[in-house]
Amino acid sequence: MFDYRPAADLLAGRTILVTGAGGGIGRACSLGLLAHGAHLLALSRDEEKLASLFDEAEESWPGRCHIQPVDFSQLNEAQCARIAESVDDQFPALDGLMHNAALLGTRAPIEFYPEAQWREVMQVNVNAAYLLTRSLLPALAKSADARVLFLASSVGREGRAFWGAYGVSKFALEGMMQTLAAEVGATTSIRVNSLNPGATRTTMRAAAYPGENPASLPMPETLLPVLLYLLGPEGRRVHGRALDARDFSPP
């Protein structure tokens, strides 16, 4: 695992938005960003988990955690515009956008995959990421050193049977990352990458692999060194890359 020990103020002065911040990797990342000086905008559909995150953040980093409940299955252009307006009203720029929210859906052959669930997974995992990114690009462009990071999956880099909409959606995110990176790389300070966290002890992982012993998997907090590097100042050297957290090494 990447050994990186950043200063406690690594992200001081930076504002970073994390989707799916209520639990798992999103929550661990959110607390790690706050611990290293960032202002956090935390989005999740689970209001109870968001409130818990806010309460914990207020105890240690008062005034730096901002939460907003968002149902990504219903997210539309108008809602994204309101989120962008809120960012503009509160901050001079957006310095990071981490797309972590995702829906697993059914694991089944495409032949038998339920159409309604296919649409829902694509909405949460792909369409919502597109709409939110598009709305927030002006705020990201105002930053002197911005990041967009898509959380990826190994099943979105090599097709695997029965992963259905989830696997296809992760392939789509890789394409979105590459397209966006090519568009903004030469004209803005925005750096765009995808990161496959690998096997991690989360609720989604347990649902996908019910026979697996969760205790055998690393905790979400073990991803923090890579995430902090990519979202911090040194991450400006990494752009347009499909990365794997478990074997990451800086350029």
Residues labelled as active-site residues = 166
CB atoms within 10 A of CB 76: 11
Instruction: DSSP letter for 145, please.
Output: S
Closest CA to 2 of 240, 197, 170: 197
Indicate the Cα dihedral angle 141, 145, 188, 235, nearest 10°: -130
**Residue 222 and residue 226: Cα distance in Å, rounded?**
9
**Residue 220 and residue 48: Cα distance in Å, rounded?**
20
The two structure tokens encoding residue 13: 């002065």
For residue 136, give Cα distances in angstroms to 5, 71, 187: 30, 17, 16
> How many CA atoms does the CB half-sphere of 236 hold within 13 Å?
10
**Residue 219 and residue 138: Cα distance in Å, rounded?**
34
Mark out the alpha helices in the chain (DSSP H runs). 24-35, 47-60, 77-90, 115-122, 128-141, 164-184, 203-208, 224-231
The two structure tokens encoding residue 24: 């798992």
SS3 of residue 6 by DSSP:
coil
